[in-house]
Amino acid sequence: GAGVSQTPSNKVTEKGKYVELRCDPISGHTALYWYRQSLGQGPEFLIYFQGTGAADDSGLPNDRFFAVRPEGSVSTLKIQRTERGDSAVYLCASSSDTGELFFGEGSRLTVL
């Protein structure tokens, strides 16, 4: 499709497990962002990629969270030793030179 694609749309896991969330940005968009939205809150910035490199990862809450974008297109957000507090909707967005962010539908993560 033409929009940002995120998989899985829903993920239920147990506390302590490892999780990967995938984002496929709009073709040609060089910038990619991960945000996290908890229930009743606005999205919270996690990390921003320009090409293959993480230009700003200041929003990652701790070292259990890691994201990669090895070929400058698809990105994977990785969460180790998941905790119940990690439960949220993880949103990916991409942008071109205009800077306008286009968001995907998100991946809803539930940690039991």
Residues that bind other proteins (CB under 8 A): 4, 31, 33, 35, 40-45, 48, 55-56, 59, 91, 93, 95, 99-101, 103-106
Q: How far is the CB of 96 from other proteins (least distance, A)?
A: 11
Measured from the CB atom, is 48 or 79 closer to other proteins?
Answer: 48
Measured from the CB atom, is 24 or 106 closer to other proteins?
Answer: 106
Measured from the CB atom, is 45 or 66 closer to other proteins?
Answer: 45
Cis preceding-peptide flag for 8 (omega within 30 of 0): yes
* Residues 13 and 21 sit within 8 Å (Cβ to Cβ): no
> Measured between alpha carbons, how far apart are the two ends of the chain, in Å?
32
Give the separation between CA 66 and CA 63, rounded to whole angstroms: 7
Q: How far is the CB of 70 from other proteins (least distance, A)?
A: 20
Give the separation between CA 111 and CA 99, rounded to whole angstroms: 33
Would you state the structure tokens that stand for residue 42, as one six-digit string?
A: 């606005």
Q: How far is the CB of 104 from other proteins (least distance, A)?
A: 5
Q: How far is the CB of 16 from other proteins (least distance, A)?
A: 28
Give the separation between CA 42 and CA 26, rounded to whole angstroms: 23
Measured from the CB atom, is 82 or 95 closer to other proteins?
Answer: 95
